[in-house]
């Protein structure tokens, strides 16, 4: 009996411990729903550069937001918002996005970390980012969608002594542009531009092809700011790992796509080039129609203005004539001279 009692007592103690442990995993109860410590910690882990002493307050704030969120969720379900088509569609899209990212992450995490040799090789191949790194003070002019302008713009840049001369030339050609001035480190410059920029001296001007069109760049000043291999190694390793992971995910998706049966329907049956050509033609037609409508509107406005001017002038002319008529009517008529006076006047002339 004593043994049984001890066993039972031990069992009760274990159950109490289990209940207590389970209870500690719950941060708050909102009506019938629970918010767990794991939820709070998961959000806390996504908060960058949080000092340890700030963690308790941050956890409280996170829990408060989760409580508010859960109350809103309960009301949404109560009012059947979770069944409305837009919400169902959004939930399905979020679920698909989460699952796709989870699969991509699983492939990325399976990739090996780059070795020391790979890091050393990358460091040596990119002196512009590390051993010969510079901080640039740049003057820039961005010209959008004017690739055919490149030869003329390069000619102007070659003989220009300042960016103002190029800006004035663009204004004279009625070509819109966007000027910009600022300091940028080598790693903040697009790689396709950096190699050319690295060869330039302070004061040099050069034209670069950009994603949006053309860019005219002048190095107003620069200073050397190299980064040692030791300091750069962790950054390079992470960059190489990210690049390798991205390539692995792309290769996996390509393989999945080649083995899947994919059928495009409706407007997506057309070839991409055809679809782009059609969209371009439609846009051009719409722009032409807008221009024609604008021209017609302006012509009609001009015609109305001319008609108004003519009507005003006619009204002024009528008013003038009426004023003259009234003036004539208002002036007294001269009385006829007596016959005797006329005879005396004639005798005087003789």
CB 227 within 8 A of CB 122: no
Q: What is the mean pLDDT of residues 185-206?
A: 93
State how far the Cα of 119 lies from the Cα of 240, in Å rounded to an integer: 8
**The pLDDT of residue 21 is above 80:** no
Instruction: Give the pLDDT confidence score for residue 341 in this predicted structure.
Output: 60
Give 1's pLDDT tier (boundaries 50, 70, 90): very low
Instruction: Give the pLDDT confidence score for residue 331 in this predicted structure.
Output: 65
Instruction: Give the pLDDT confidence score for residue 77 in this predicted structure.
Output: 96
Instruction: Give the pLDDT confidence score for residue 104 in this predicted structure.
Output: 96
Enter the pTM of the model: 0.62
Q: What is the mean pLDDT of residues 155-176?
A: 93
Q: What is the pLDDT of residues 229-276, one digit of tens each?
A: 999 999 999 999 999 999 999 999 999 999 999 998 888 887 777 777
Residue 74 inside a domain? The answer is yes
State how far the Cα of 236 lies from the Cα of 227, in Å rounded to an integer: 12
Residue 217 inside a domain? The answer is yes
Instruction: Give the pLDDT confidence score for residue 2 in this predicted structure.
Output: 41
Give 343's pLDDT tier (boundaries 50, 70, 90): low
Residue 156 inside a domain? The answer is yes
Residue 318 inside a domain? The answer is no
Give 280's pLDDT tier (boundaries 50, 70, 90): confident
CB 220 within 8 A of CB 134: no
CB 176 within 8 A of CB 144: yes
Give 168's pLDDT tier (boundaries 50, 70, 90): very high
Instruction: Give the pLDDT confidence score for residue 192 in this predicted structure.
Output: 87
Burial (Cβ within 10 Å: 0-12, 13-18, ≥19) of residue 141? buried
Q: What is the pLDDT of residues 98-120, one digit of tens each?
A: 999 999 999 999 999 999 999 99
**Count of domains forming the chain:** 2
Per-residue DSSP letter, 174: T
State how far the Cα of 222 lies from the Cα of 183, in Å rounded to an integer: 9
Instruction: Give the pLDDT confidence score for residue 7 in this predicted structure.
Output: 38
**The pLDDT of residue 334 is above 60:** no
Residue 69 inside a domain? The answer is yes
CATH number of the domain to which 201 belongs: 3.10.50.40
Q: Which of 176, 200, 225 is the last residue of a domain?
A: 225
Give 347's pLDDT tier (boundaries 50, 70, 90): low
Task: Give the chain's mean pLDDT.
Answer: 87
State how far the Cα of 118 lies from the Cα of 133, in Å rounded to an integer: 20
Q: Which of 225, 240, 273 is the last residue of a domain?
A: 225
Residues in the chain: 350
What residue numbers bound the domain in which 78 lies?
23-83
CA–CA distances in Å: residue 256 to residues 110, 191, 251, 261:
17, 31, 9, 10
Instruction: Give the pLDDT confidence score for residue 116 in this predicted structure.
Output: 95
Residue 320 inside a domain? The answer is no
Residue 72 inside a domain? The answer is yes
Token digits of residue 26: 């719950």
Residue 174 inside a domain? The answer is yes
| 148 and 209 co-located in one domain | yes
Strand 134-144 to 213-224 pairing: antiparallel
Q: pLDDT > 70: what percent of the chain?
A: 87
Instruction: Give the pLDDT confidence score for residue 15 in this predicted structure.
Output: 52
Q: Which of 225, 250, 281 is the last residue of a domain?
A: 225
Instruction: Give the pLDDT confidence score for residue 344 in this predicted structure.
Output: 62
Instruction: Give the pLDDT confidence score for residue 4 in this predicted structure.
Output: 39
Token digits of residue 167: 């800006």
């Amino acid at each position: 009996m004593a043994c049984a009692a001890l066993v039972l007592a031990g069992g009760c103690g274990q159950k109490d411990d289990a209940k207590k442990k389970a209870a500690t995993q719950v941060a708050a109860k909102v009506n019938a729903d629970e918010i767990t410590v794991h939820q709070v910690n998961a959000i806390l882990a996504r908060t960058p550069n949080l000092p340890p002493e700030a963690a308790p307050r941050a956890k409280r704030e996170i829990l408060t937001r989760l409580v508010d969120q859960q109350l809103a969720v309960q009301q949404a379900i109560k009012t059947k918002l979770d069944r409305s088509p837009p919400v169902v569609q959004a939930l399905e899209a979020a679920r698909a996005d989460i699952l796709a990212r989870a699969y991509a992450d699983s492939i990325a995490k399976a990739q090996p970390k780059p070795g020391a040799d790979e890091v050393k090789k990358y460091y040596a191949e990119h002196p512009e980012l590390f051993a010969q790194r510079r901080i640039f003070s740049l003057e820039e002019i961005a010209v959008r969608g004017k690739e055919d302008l490149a030869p003329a713009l390069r000619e102007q840049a070659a003989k220009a002594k300042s960016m103002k001369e190029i800006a004035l030339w663009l204004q004279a050609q009625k070509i819109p542009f966007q000027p910009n001035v600022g300091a940028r480190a080598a790693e903040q410059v697009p790689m396709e531009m950096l190699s050319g920029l690295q060869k330039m001296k302070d004061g040099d001007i050069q034209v670069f092809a950009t994603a949006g069109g053309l860019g005219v760049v002048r190095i107003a000043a620069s200073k050397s700011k190299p980064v040692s291999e030791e300091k750069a190694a962790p950054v390079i390793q992470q960059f190489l790992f990210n690049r390798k992971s991205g390539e692995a995910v792309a290769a996996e998706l390509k393989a999945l796509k080649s083995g899947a049966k994919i059928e495009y329907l409706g407007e997506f049956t057309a070839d991409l080039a055809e679809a782009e050509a059609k969209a371009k033609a439609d846009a051009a037609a719409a722009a032409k129609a807008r221009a024609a409508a604008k021209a017609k509107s302006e012509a009609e406005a001009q015609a109305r203005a001319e008609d108004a001017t003519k009507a005003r002038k006619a009204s002024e002319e009528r008013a003038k004539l009426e004023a003259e008529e009234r003036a004539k009517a208002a002036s007294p008529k001269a009385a006829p001279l007596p016959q005797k006076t006329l005879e005396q006047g004639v005798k005087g002339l003789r």
